[in-house]
Amino acid sequence: MSHKLVLATRNQGKITEFRRILEELAPGHIDLIGVDQFPDLVDVDETGSTFEENSLLKSRYTCLATGLPAIADDSGLCVDALNGDPGIYSARWAGKHGDDQANIEKLLEQLKDVPDSKRTARFKCVASLVLPDGREQVAEGRFEGHILHAPVGDNGFGYDPIFQPLGLSISSAQMSAEEKDLVSHRGKSLRSIAPHVTVKKYKHLWIVNGNMEIQNQN
């Protein structure tokens, strides 16, 4: 029996990774549904100050709006020489949300005078799962490495072409999908979340005084 799970993102790169990782973890048991199947859903403003806050904003809203378990993540690149930036602003570091090339160009310009020994960085991902009965699970994954001086590789998305994982001589954009999933920040967080994906059937789901109330199906 497959369990329905709504993925609270429109990022195609993330959608591909989520589907691949969850299918590997629980083949045939998770029916991942995109938010595009719910035309009334709006994009959640990421007003949180941490990855966890933003992740929960998205998963809580999506679960409440659909009545189904929802999973979301917030992730980004944290560069030590930039005091942890771009961090939660990674997807819009250059101004426009999702412009990978512009984001990479801006980051490389900021680091142009930074020596290799000071270019340490990590990807962080906080995945969150919210179930209709109010239960929540949160898990963080990290992917350590450093920033290259120029993009290398055609795989992945985001900052992958300029990120060299710790202990490797290639960028994460040169890794196969399977290799990356084993060590990536998203792979680690989803492996922690996946065992908690369960589904219960509900008859009613509504908001009362700002709280989610559920009446079990008889």
Catalytic center residues: 74
Q: Could you tell me where the beta strands, DSSP code E, fall in 36-188?
A: 70-79, 120-130, 136-147, 163-165
Residue whose C-alpha is closest to residue 13's, from 191, 195, 184, 196: 184
Measured between alpha carbons, how far is 101 from 126 in angstroms, rounded to an integer?
A: 24
Residue 167 region by backbone torsions, left for phi larger than 0, else alpha for psi between -120 and 50, else beta: left
- Per the CB < 8 A criterion, the answer to whether 149 and 159 are in contact is no
The backbone torsions φ and ψ at residue 34, rounded to the nearest 5 degrees and listed phi first, read: -85, 155
Q: Which residues contact 184 (CB under 8 A, 6 or more apart)?
A: 17, 123, 125, 141, 143, 172
How would you write 13-27 as a 3-class SS string? Answer: HHHHHHHHHHHHHCC
- Per the CB < 8 A criterion, the answer to whether 149 and 171 are in contact is no
